[in-house]
Amino acid sequence: MNFEENETIKSGMVALVGLPNVGKSTLLNCLLGQKISIVSPKPQTTRNRILGIVNGEGYQIVLIDTPGLHKASSEMNRAMVRLAMESLKEVDVVLFMVDALSPIPKKEDTPTNYLKGVQTPALLLLNKVDLVDKQKVLPLIAHYGNLYDFKAIIPISALRDDGTDLLLQELLKFLPEGPKLYPDNIPTDSTERFIVGEIIREKLFLCTGQEIPYSSAVVVDSFKEREDKALITIHATIFIERDSQKGIVVGRKGSKLQEIGTSARKDIEELLGQKVLLKLWVKVKKNWTKNSSFLKELGF
């Protein structure tokens, strides 16, 4: 794939979904490994965690994780399924991964069930084809092809980096042309800051509900590691647009902000493998989403 310089790039959000152990993390590492990109924090069972950003020539793929679909649907409650479905509608492409080894999933775990009512184009990745005889692959492709109207079914081996070029090629067909969603090369030294900001935003979303996040931004003001490396102190500011939102974010006697802070801190500690002291502020910045110089400051 060749892209002329200055050409509009393809960029979009891609959900990578599939049952545990099919090879999602392996694929992610493989995609991230060959392209310049940022770290992949541990997948969480929460909403739309960014798994990694793959920056290639002429494209930027933001891979996200979708909650709920890690578990078999029978274990999920309806709300989780609905939330997962909603996230699948918000992305540009769904990569649905199965592996060639496992028995064909139970009816309730089939892609048809997960993707029911989702209009987003979906590609089926049949992973671990290195482990099965070639003649077993075709019937599997036929089987999954009958289950759902996938835009493509791509046999891959994430472990051996086989078929991933074809995967990228197919994937890019369904990504819209447009600007990058994230700064091009988030320098490695600010990677952790960036992820920390995303984690706080995610918790903000989870703790406050739909209304807040689309008009919120998180800026990590400082990120200081103590000399003995035993503690990282992080200061961050949550920007919201309206005074009325402040009460929602802060909560009664600060309880909501505390909840956001605690759950974010836990994830950040897990990500960084260190103890973290997280201090959060909430500031109202009227109409910041329309304020281009402020947006620039945020890196958009």
Interface with ligand GDP in residues 163-222 (CB under 6 A): none
CA 246, CA 280: separation in Å to the nearest integer? 13
Pick what 201 binds: Mg ion, ligand GDP, none; C-beta below 5 to 8 Å, kind-dependent.
none
Q: Is 131 in the site for ligand GDP (CB under 6 A)?
A: yes
Structure tokens at 110: 């089939």
Structure tokens at 155: 């046999």
Closest CA to 174 of 2, 290, 50, 13: 13
Residue carrying structure tokens 């605690």: 262
For 228, the 3-state DSSP assignment is: coil
Q: How many amino acids of this chain bind ligand GDP (CB under 6 A)?
A: 15
Report the residue number, 111 or 197, with the smaller CB distance to ligand GDP: 111
Q: Is 274 in the site for ligand GDP (CB under 6 A)?
A: no
Report the residue number, 43 or 183, with the smaller CB distance to ligand GDP: 43
Q: Is 44 in the site for Mg ion (CB under 5 A)?
A: no
Q: Is 40 in the site for ligand GDP (CB under 6 A)?
A: no
Residue nearest to ligand GDP (CB): 23
Q: How far is C-alpha 164 from the chain's CA centre?
A: 19
Closest CA to 272 of 218, 214, 232, 226: 232
Report the residue number, 162 or 269, with the smaller CB distance to ligand GDP: 162
Q: Please give the angle made by the CA atoms of 128, 147 and 139, to the nearest 5 degrees.
A: 50
Q: Is 127 in the site for ligand GDP (CB under 6 A)?
A: yes
Q: Is 25 in the site for ligand GDP (CB under 6 A)?
A: yes
Beta bridge partners of 204: none
Q: How far is the CB of 239 from Mg ion (least distance, A)?
A: 32
Q: Is 25 in the site for Mg ion (CB under 5 A)?
A: yes
Contact yes or no for 4/25 (Cβ under 8 A)? no
Q: How far is C-alpha 127 from the chain's CA centre?
A: 20
Q: Is 157 in the site for ligand GDP (CB under 6 A)?
A: yes
Listed ranges 17-25, 98-106, 119-127, 227-235: which one lies at the site for Mg ion (CB under 5 A): 17-25
Q: How far is the CB of 18 from ligand GDP (least distance, A)?
A: 6
DSSP secondary structure letters along 55-67: EETTEEEEEEE-T
Report the residue number, 65 or 241, with the smaller CB distance to Mg ion: 65
Contact yes or no for 66/15 (Cβ under 8 A)? yes
Q: What count of other Cβ atoms lies within 10 Å of the Cβ of residue 241?
A: 19
Q: Is 132 in the site for ligand GDP (CB under 6 A)?
A: no
Report the residue number, 129 or 218, with the smaller CB distance to ligand GDP: 129
Which parts of this chain interact with Mg ion (CB under 5 A)? 24-25
Which parts of this chain interact with ligand GDP (CB under 6 A)? 18, 20-26, 127-128, 130-131, 157-159
